[in-house]
Amino acid sequence: MSRTENALEKASRIRRSPQPVPAGRNGEPAATGAQGARIEHPHLVTSRSTFSPVAEEYKKLKARVMRMTKQEPFRNVLLVTSSVGGEGKSVTAANLALSLARDYDHSVVLIDADTRKPSLHTLLNVKPGIGLADCVADDIDIGSALVKVGNGNLQFVPAGKRHENPVELFSSQRMRTVILEMKSRYPDRYIIIDTPPVLLFAETKMISALADGIIFVVREGLAPLQHIIEALDLLKEEQLLGIVYNDAGPEGVNGTYPYHSYYRHYHSRT
Ligand SMILES: Nc1ncnc2c1ncn2[C@@H]1O[C@H](COP(=O)(O)OP(=O)(O)OP(=O)(O)O)[C@@H](O)[C@H]1O
Ligand SMILES: [Mg+2]
């Protein structure tokens, strides 16, 4: 079984949680966002210390990602994408980042590279300030865009102001420099980049060229299989760490959803 299939199988166990428990209730500590704000989004299950089946699945995802990336050289720049919108990229990127940063396991920089529809600042309860697009467009040092979140192990780079041509912006040499600078400045940190859907917006493919690994999010029943295949065809197979099967019902991939046959197709492709 390939690494991707393995990752798919594990990730596919993510199930709908019975009911997400809002942070700060039931006595559990809620993580704090920047400016002392509390991370209270019900889908950021990894920001809380209470047990939940979904948080356990994110822990497994974290362990698997670590196993696949903690090697020589450290594959620390990870991109999160999907075929179409609304698959759960931002929720997945934020939960993975929080999970990695939890318990002081790792330092993580979470970057919102979706300037068309930025959402991570809302999830993390952070007031958006200088962001990635500003650092790239206006030659601003990326260090000045970093916002501390929670225990300080997680830093966040907002998307920045809307740019009229994100494809041009993110395929620029300056974008390459910004990401490579971060990689060399923070060689021991995970750098997780949330992006727009790759099938719809060309900048994601451009940004993917700068990543060491790609996590592809599929929400059960959302995108047609053909869209998923087309999207994966846009990405380099060797960069693909795996697929997070989001919002899966009790049947998951072992039931009616045809992911195994899809994978046979994908891997037999030349
Ligand atoms: N597993 C889940 N269960 C319930 N709701 C979810 C789940 N995952 C994501 N959502 C919700 O679905 C919506 C889309 O999720 P999210 O913003 O993470 O997707 P996205 O792929 O980043 O979307 P976009 O392409 O618009 O950036 C959000 O309202 C989010 O809270
Ligand atoms: Mg998003």
Q: Which of 48-57, 58-67, 146-155 has the lowest mean pLDDT?
A: 48-57
Whether the per-residue pLDDT at 71 is higher than 80: the answer is yes
Q: For residue 60, which of 76, 80, 78, 45 has the smallest C-alpha distance?
A: 45
Report pTM.
0.83
Q: Who has greater pLDDT, 69 or 13?
A: 69
- Only one residue has tokens 């991707």, namely 4
**Contact (CB, 8 A) for 253 and 8:** yes
Domain at 188, CATH number = 3.40.50.300
**Ligand 1 atom, smallest distance to 217 CA:** 21
Q: Which of 79, 84, 91, 227 to mutate to test the pocket of ligand 1 (most atoms within 8 A of CB)?
A: 91
Question: Hey, which of 42-51, 62-71, 246-255 has the most confident mean pLDDT?
Answer: 62-71
Whether the per-residue pLDDT at 104 is higher than 70: the answer is no
Per-residue confidence at 163, pLDDT binned at 50, 70, 90? very high
When pLDDT is averaged across residues 95-117 and rounded to a whole number, the result is: 90
Whole-number pLDDT of residue 51? 80
Residues in contact with 48: Cβ distance below 8 Å, sequence separation at least 6, in sequence order: 21, 23, 28, 29, 30, 31, 55
Tokens of 242: 């795996």
**Contact (CB, 8 A) for 95 and 45:** yes
Mean pLDDT (the chain, rounded): 82
Whether the per-residue pLDDT at 168 is higher than 70: the answer is yes
43 within ligand 1 shell (Cβ under 6 A) = yes
**Contact (CB, 8 A) for 114 and 163:** no
Q: For residue 20, which of 60, 61, 48, 62 has the smallest C-alpha distance?
A: 48
In the chain, % of residues over pLDDT 90: 67
Residues in contact with 98: Cβ distance below 8 Å, sequence separation at least 6, in sequence order: 31, 39, 44, 46, 47, 150, 154
**Chain segment 230-263, per-residue pLDDT in tens:** 999 999 999 999 999 999 876 654 443 333 323 3
Residues in contact with 209: Cβ distance below 8 Å, sequence separation at least 6, in sequence order: none
Q: What three-state secondary structure class fits 150? A: coil
Whether the per-residue pLDDT at 37 is higher than 70: the answer is no
Closest ligand, as measured to the CA of 123 = 1
Residues in contact with 51: Cβ distance below 8 Å, sequence separation at least 6, in sequence order: none
Distances (CA, A) of 175 to 31, 60, 182, 229, 258: 31, 32, 11, 28, 38
Number of domains, the chain: 1
Per-residue confidence at 183, pLDDT binned at 50, 70, 90? very high
Closest ligand, as measured to the CA of 219 = 1
Residues in contact with 72: Cβ distance below 8 Å, sequence separation at least 6, in sequence order: none
85 within ligand 1 shell (Cβ under 6 A) = yes
Whole-number pLDDT of residue 33? 55
CA distance 142 to 80: 20
Per-residue confidence at 53, pLDDT binned at 50, 70, 90? confident
Query: What is the residue range of 76's domain?
Result: 3-268
CA distance 152 to 261: 43
Whether the per-residue pLDDT at 27 is higher than 70: the answer is no
**Contact (CB, 8 A) for 117 and 196:** yes
Tokens of 24: 């700060």
CA distance 157 to 181: 14
CA distance 83 to 228: 6
**Ligand 1 atom, smallest distance to 123 CA:** 31
Can you say how many angstroms the Cα of residue 74 is from the centroid of all Cα atoms in its chain?
18
